[in-house]
Structure 1
Amino acid sequence: SRPRLEDAAPRIVEHPSDLIVSKGEPATLNCKAEGRPTPMVEWYKDGERVETDREDPRSHRMLLPSGSLFFLRIVHGRRSKPDEGVYVCVARNYLGEAVSRNASLEVAILRDDFRQTPSDVVVAAGEPAVMECIPPRGHPEPTISWKRNNVKVNDKDERITIRGGKLMISNTKKSDAGMYVCVGTNMVGEKDSDPAELVVFERPMFVRRPVNQVVLADDTVDFQCEVQGDPTPTIRWRKEEGELPRGRFEIRADNSLRLTQVKAEDEGSYTCLSENSVGKAEASGTLQVHVGPSRKYHSISFLCMRVLVLHMFLRL
């Protein structure tokens, strides 16, 4: 029979788009066709016709009146992947058929195991710190973020850069220390790595330094030295020109150096040396001893003589 003037061959007016969906979630592949008479739509996956609820009412695939293919849930297993593949919709009437563009339906996955977990890092304050992880395999490829003590790391801080799987902190501070977790995220969800600790030690830093002092001989003098750092620094003293005066020095509980009965030979530079596992520091103060002028003593002898005074009276 001849085609009617108002009849038209099918044409696809809405093509399906590629989809990435999570296992168990619903999904729709859109397809809309025009033609007269109204075309019948069928779907094919990887070249084979797709069975829908039109053929099997128990099917999880439904052919909608518009021609779109609706999945009640995406079925996906390690061995069976019945919904993943390349789809086309085909619209037919007696005047011919139209085939849509290909559309891939891929199932998003996110594995459990990190390919590389971050390791503990120990740095001195002011040094850079780098932590690195490789997230679990996933599709789409997981993005990476980091948490410190369960709070998301703010990469807007100009000291912090997150690039690929690396977390880089320049000029570390004591406040950067903590437990860090690498987080891999895609549309399936997110996975946390095992935690890694960032330890930020502090080099010795002087709170009070020894100062230059001038004293008199035989006086007592104290050189102060107060240092902070992590781990707690050790402190020792030395005299730059020789040894500490034997028997006349004391290192006190506050780490100050006390010299007693100072002598001229005690003059010189006294240095406080501080050290911990990440650094050293030293500070010095000089001592000048003034000896008073020597005094000369003279012996004085006193001679005592008895004088007898006689008073005589003459009568004329």
Structure 2
Amino acid sequence: MWIHQTGQLFIQLFINIQHLLLFQYIHFSLAKEINLINEKFTKDDNEPYFTEAMSNVTVQVGRPVKFQCIVANLGNHQVAWFRKDKHTLLALGNEVILKNNRILVSNHTDKIFYLTIFAVREEDRGEYMCQINSSPQIDQSAFLKVTVPPHFIEELTSSDTDVNEGDSVSLRCIAKGFPAPTIEWRREDKEAIDALSSSSLPLSSPFSSASDNKNVTTIQGEYLNIVRVKRQHIGVYLCIASNGIPNSVSKRIFLGVKFSPLVWTPNQRVGSPLNGDASIICTVDAYPKPDCYWMKTSTRQIILDNSKYSTILTPISTYKYEMRLNIKTVEIGEFTSYTCIAKNILSEASGTIVLYEIPRPSTQRTVINNIPNHSPVKEVSKSRKNYLGTSKNPLNSEDNVKDKLNIASFLTNSYKNDISPDQITLQTEEKVTPADDLIDSGTNFNSHSFSNSIWLISINIILRHIIT
């Protein structure tokens, strides 16, 4: 019985002790919370505090940046600077702790404190903290954003490229920067690009077909993909990288399309008078640039430049050329065929042109004019005496005008020209003598002059028919 009562008392005592401890714990916790609330809403005027928040800063790589921390009531406390994201102490007070000659700390009075970083690098990007060693410690932080202009990674970017006609090609441009740059392709000559519309992947990735090609002036993406390359694709392509940070950069990539030479002869036969100058031309399409030369077809002898011959190769475009052979004072043995030959690493091609003789233009001929009958009457010039005769020749007399006109009309009609007398003109290299002038001069002639005139005019008409 006594033992049972003693046990109950012990249990009651234990419960009372628990209640007492719990009350003390609650009282202590409430007191602590009240103190924290008081500290929050009642600031000691002698404790330091920040009067302004720090600002995030964006700066281009290579330039300086400055953080500002404004403090009130600093007193005997000190300002420390940290690289918060790397848990690194940079400076304490006016002393730089981290050994970095690009970092400088300074202050204006005892309120405004600065952290300056010179020649900012990409690795400086991150969060920076200003801290005061008060009790408790207070701090604030800001972010540094470092922008980087675009630049190419040369080892990952295509250089000048040659491919065979009909193959497919993928040109690549890889650029870095912050923010990440975009890539744009265009031709240097501003012509349209016949390429796949999607250029985010190389040709090794599956594409539907070459029908995806389209003619556009620009292509976006790191890859420029061209299926079944043609010679028209030859040229310089510009890869332009930009990210809004000055300056954009570009790279020139030359695309060469190799194909065998093709020779064109605009004129397969070229005429030249004896002792005249001649020029014959071939047009060549080829890439790489061909070796071009001329030879006489019959002898297969290569023609070299000298006082007689000159050869000229003129580029028309990246893959088109004009071959020209100039021959001075053509001799009778040079009326023959000539072969132009173009050869590159793939093949060769040739074309043949025949140089033939043509008569030299006559210095005296009869010209039929469309001059109306009422055209002004002109006197015969003295410079035409070589055709009208001398003072001893009755053709130069003032009589028998109608007889002379009838002779000219008879001669022209005899060749079935049916040309009226007022349309007959005797022409020299110096002047033109209308028949009306002869009529107006009122000259006459005898039977001797008649035969001379027939001879002269007949020669003129025969030469005219030969030429025409």
Q: 2:188 aligns with which of 237, 240, 248?
A: 240
Q: Do the aligned partners of residues 230 and 248 (structure 1) sit closer, same or farther apart at CA in structure 2, a change above 3 Å counting? A: closer
Q: 1:293 aligns with which of 255, 261, 265?
A: 261
**What corresponds to 1:257 in structure 2?**
224
Q: 2:138 aligned with 1:192, yes or no? A: yes
Q: 2:228 aligned with 1:268, yes or no? A: no
Deviation, structure 1 residue 248: 5.7
Deviation, structure 1 residue 132: 0.8
Q: 1:129 aligns with which of 53, 65, 68?
A: 65
Please tell me the root mean square deviation across aligned C-alpha atoms, in Å. Answer: 2.8
Structure 1 gap ranges (5+)? 1-107, 297-316
Structure-2-length-normalised TM-score: 0.36
Deviation, structure 1 residue 189: 5.1
Q: 2:125 aligns with which of 168, 177, 181?
A: 177
**What corresponds to 2:90 in structure 1?**
153
CA contact (8 A) 1:217 1:291 kept: yes
Partner amino acid, structure 2, of 1:153: L
Q: Do the aligned partners of residues 248 and 177 (structure 1) sit closer, same or farther apart at CA in structure 2, a change above 3 Å counting? A: closer
Equivalent pairs: percent with the same residue?
Answer: 25
**What corresponds to 1:220 in structure 2?**
168
Structure 2 gap ranges (5+)? 1-44, 108-112, 203-221, 263-348, 351-468
Which string of whole-angstrom CA distances, capped at 9 and with x for unpartnered residues, describes residues 107-140 of structure 1? x9432x2133321011233222211112222324
Trace 1:1-316 onto structure 2 (pairs within 5 A): 109-111=46-48, 113-140=49-76, 142-149=77-84, 150-153=87-90, 155=96, 156-164=99-107, 165-185=113-133, 191-207=137-153, 208-246=156-194, 251-253=199-201, 255-279=222-246, 280-294=248-262
Q: Do the aligned partners of residues 118 and 252 (structure 1) sit closer, same or farther apart at CA in structure 2, a change above 3 Å counting? A: closer
Q: Flag the structure with larger Rg.
A: 2
Partner amino acid, structure 2, of 1:116: E
Of 244-253 and 229-238, more deviation after overlay is shown by 244-253
Deviation, structure 1 residue 169: 0.9
Deviation, structure 1 residue 257: 0.9
2-side partners of 1:190 and 1:209: how far apart? 55
1-side partners of 2:105 and 2:238: how far apart? 44
2-side partners of 1:182 and 1:190: how far apart? 14
CA contact (8 A) 1:181 1:192 kept: no
Partner amino acid, structure 1, of 2:152: F
SS of equivalent residue, structure 1 residue 139: coil
More strand per residue: 1
SS of equivalent residue, structure 1 residue 110: coil
Partner amino acid, structure 2, of 1:289: V
SS of equivalent residue, structure 1 residue 265: helix
Q: Do the aligned partners of residues 272 and 147 (structure 1) sit closer, same or farther apart at CA in structure 2, a change above 3 Å counting? A: same
Higher relative contact order (CA 8 A, sep 6+): 1
2-side partners of 1:130 and 1:182: how far apart? 13
Structure-1-length-normalised TM-score: 0.52
Of 166-175 and 188-197, more deviation after overlay is shown by 188-197
Which string of whole-angstrom CA distances, capped at 9 and with x for unpartnered residues, describes residues 153-196 of structure 1? 253301111111111111222322222111234xx557433221
CA contact (8 A) 2:164 2:257 kept: yes
Which string of whole-angstrom CA distances, capped at 9 and with x for unpartnered residues, describes residues 191-226 of structure 1? 433221112233323222231112232232221111
Deviation, structure 1 residue 266: 2.0
CA contact (8 A) 2:196 2:224 kept: no
CA contact (8 A) 1:147 1:153 kept: yes
Deviation, structure 1 residue 247: 5.2
2-side partners of 1:194 and 1:243: how far apart? 56
2-side partners of 1:278 and 1:152: how far apart? 31
CA contact (8 A) 1:125 1:200 kept: yes
Partner amino acid, structure 2, of 1:166: Y
Q: Do the aligned partners of residues 217 and 249 (structure 1) sit closer, same or farther apart at CA in structure 2, a change above 3 Å counting? A: farther
CA contact (8 A) 2:195 2:224 kept: no
Q: Do the aligned partners of residues 213 and 247 (structure 1) sit closer, same or farther apart at CA in structure 2, a change above 3 Å counting? A: closer
